[in-house]
Structure 1
Amino acid sequence: MGPSSRMGALAFLHRFGARLNPHGHFHGVVVNGVFEADGAGGARSRTAQGLGSEGLAEIPTEVRVRLLRALARRELLEREDVQAMGAWEHGRGFSLDARVRVEADDRRGLERLLRYCARPAFALERLREIAHGHRVYESVRPGLEGASA
C-alpha cells in the first residue's frame, strides 16, 4: 500500500432491534482491500492479504478502547461510565460479524446486502390490525415465551 491508498466503506446507524426494541448499533460494509491511483487518472483495487479470524477478533477490542478513550478525552463520557462499560459482558458492548462476503462481480448480492443495511426500523407488511384502531407488529424473531407479536 502506498500514500495514495484509500479504503472504501459505508456505515449505517440502526437504533432498533428485531422486536423494535432500542438497540443502537452500526452495520458496516467495508471493501476487502484498498483503492490506489493508477497514474492515468483512474484507480485500481488491491485485495487485503493476511487478515484472518485472529485479526478480525482483535478489531472490536481496538475499536472499543479507542472510542471510549476519545469520548472520555472530549468529556463526552464520564470516566466512571467508561469503566462500567469496560465491565460489560459479550464483548463489552462491541462485536464484529464478518461472515458475509460479496464477491466483486456479484451486483445482486451487493444490492441485497446494502438493502438489508439500509432497511427502515420496521416493515409495514408486519403490521396487522387486531381490532379497530389497534395494531400488532409481528416480529421475525420470537420474544419472551415464543411470542412473535
Structure 2
Amino acid sequence: MDIMDTLRYDRWIEDALKSVVRKALNYCQEHGLPGEHHFYITFATDHPDVTIPDSLREQYPEEITIVIEHEFWDLEVTNEYFAVVLSFSEEKTPIHVPFEAVTGFADPSVKFGLQFKMETVEDHDESDELLEESEPVLEEVSKDSDDENKDNVIALDAFRKK
C-alpha cells in the first residue's frame, strides 16, 4: 500500500491538539494571562528552525521547557511559530519556536497538559514503512477460546446484527 493511500489520523490529531497551544498563546498575546494561568512549553532545541542563543542550545542540546508567566515580552503568534522575549539569567532573550518543534504544553493552574511527538524525517520513513507492512487482521473468536489469545484478537460477535 502506498503511503499516499493512507489517511494519517495520528498527524491530524497532533495538528489539531497543537492548535490548542496556538489558541492559548493567541489569547495570551491579545489579552494577557488571566488569573493564575501560566504556560510551560517544551520544545526541541535541535529543530533547525528554532532560534535561541547558542549558550542555551549548548546547555539544552535536545529539549528545553520555558515558562510564560510573569516576565515575558513581545509575544508574537502565527500559524507556523511563536516568538517571545524571556528573561534568562536576568537578560532579555528573544526566542523563535515553530509549532512543529513543540513537544509539550501545560497550564498547571488548571491541571491541563499535552504531549507531542516531534517527527523527524526518519520517523516519517519508519512510520510509512510500518503502515505499508502491517495490514490489520481481524479474526473471529469463539466465546470459549483460550484466555492467552484474548490480547491478540478482536472479537466481532458484539458488532453483529442479531
What range is the shorter-chain TM-score in?
under 0.3
Larger helix fraction of residues:
2
Q: TM-score, normalised by structure 1?
A: 0.24
